[in-house]
A and B are shown apart, each in its own frame.
Chain A
Amino acid sequence: MYGLLNRAIECFVRDTYGEAAWAETALSCGLQGHTPEPMLPVSPDLTDSLVADICRQLDKTRAHLLEDLGIYLVRHSRYEGLRRLLRFSGHTFGDFVLSLDELAARVRLVLPGTEFFSLNVQAYPGRRFEVNSVSDFAGFQRILFGALRAMADDYGVLVTMEISDPAASGHTQILVTVHAPDFASGRGFSLGARTA
């Protein structure tokens, strides 16, 4: 999945900050224009180099950048396919959050052999959810945090969210509280949109 992540980072930089910003990062990281073919296996080192260079260029923290990446992946039209696949997991935002346990398995259906992350969700009264995650990639939970926030908007739901820094065990916790399930209309989603 690092190949796909690298390509996502590239698209994020190009689409959000422009060609010149990407060109500078590509040069610093020794790339000829593009990140390597996303479907081919690649070492995780490149991902860290890319993130480090972009943070330096834009003067952002790694956490902030990865969160923005998560938001981008749900909101940007280039990744509409991904947003749709996420919407399949839940008719409502609450259903979606509860189904995050299965997200890793859903990813594996399409990309066999990826053991990139694992999620565990607990629900509490008062529409509160605790999303626990473990990942090989440091900062995965920040991407998830951004994506969850954007998904709440997508469903038209008002939420507050908190994230804790990784514990010694490597687990991170994201707390999601739903305040208004019908806050806004959100973006529509029709199951059959891509088959016509």
Chain B
Amino acid sequence: MTGPPNIGLEIPYEALGRLLPMHVVLAADGTILSAGPTFARILPNSDLVGNAFLDRFIVRRPPCVTTFEEMRGLQARQLRLELADAPRTTLNAHCLPAAGDRLVVDTSFGINVARAVAEFGLDQSDFAPTSLAVEMLYLIEAKTAAISELQDLTLRLFEEKSQAERQAETDSLTGVLNRRGIERALGELIEDEQEFGLLHVDLDFFKTVNDTHGHSAGDQVLTRVARTLTMLTRPTDLIGRLGGDEFLIVTPGITDTDLLRAMASQIIETLDRPFDIAGCDMRISASAGVTSSGLYTAPDISRMIEDADRALYRSKLDGRTRATVFDPDTMPRPAGTAEAARAAELR
């Protein structure tokens, strides 16, 4: 056996150039004998033919290849080359022996084809008809467009989701939070171990307004009350409507019960003043129950709301139009049916 079987094809350099537009043929000493036509497009001002291969190409992989003899030994391995005259252009390459101790080196742009095509202004005719370069460029463009659409879609859906979540936590009549929203906010404050005050404000004689002036007027009163509460609290305070004529106010950072009682009293005083809706004089009032996270070692939402409720109950028992701070010692639950019935009556 004298060596691997030889196809014995004779191909003129020009034909080889059509088969392999980015090849070079090297003589035994490493001089470039011919180069494929695409190199003329990439390096219009350099002559490859007649120059030493390693003057025009740098072998980056495998590392440490500096002589032509070393390069000859790398047949059947993938090489990575760089063009000396266009340093940012990397090429994948491999080589095979040809008759007369020549070496054929074929190259391609590999993953950087898109950048290379843009940089050198190449078109379809610069690639062999069998090359996948054009398909690759198509795929890159199509992929980019598809991903861009999907990113836009994701953003839109995320916006809609956020909006839907906000809506689910908003009281549609007054625009303040609803029970779900305020309870979630309370949960977050407790989880973050933030201190806060809690006011439960309940309107007195609201039922009368509804009965006398109708539900539409009642709705306007509630909206007005929500606005008043917003004006009398800080931007960082949270207001929620628990349904009916009950509101919760959460005051992050304020736990001083005297201060909280003063806040509640100011609110009650303001709501006590008559105001005009559609030409009619509205007279309502309010009572409040106050508690604060400082009163608990482990604040708990339902417990705190319940306690604020108990304080509110006390306000009602004491004559309404006042705020009471929760005191565990003096405020028993309305235990037993008589008390519970009375509590319901007072509402």
Contacts and interface: CB of A to CB of B under 8 A. Distances in A.
* Residue among A106, A190, A193, A195 with most chain B CB within 10 A: A195
B117 interface: yes
Contact of A190 (B121, B125, B135, B153): B121
Q: Nearest 9 CB-CB pairs, A to B?
A: A192-B118, A192-B117, A195-B114, A88-B138, A91-B124, A110-B142, A195-B118, A196-B118, A191-B117
Interface residues of B, number: 29
A191 B142 contact: no
A81 B141 contact: yes
B115 A191 contact: no
Contacts of A88: 134-135, 137-138, 141
A40 B150 CA distance: 10
Q: DSSP majority for the B interface?
A: helix
B49 interface: no
6 contacts: A85-B138, A85-B145, A106-B138, A110-B145, A191-B134, A195-B114
Interface of B: 114-125, 134-135, 137-146, 149-150, 153, 156-157
Interface of A: 37-40, 81, 84-85, 88-89, 91, 106, 109-111, 190-196
Contacts of B145: 81, 85, 110
Given A37-B153, A191-B124, A85 B118 contact: no
Contacts of A192: 114-122, 137
A55 B184 CA distance: 51
Nearest to B152: A39
A39 B150 contact: yes
Contacts of B135: 88
A110 B138 CA distance: 10
A111 B118 CA distance: 26
A194 B117 contact: no
A119 to B, nearest CB: 17
Contacts of A193: 118
Contacts of B139: 109
A37 to B, nearest CB: 6
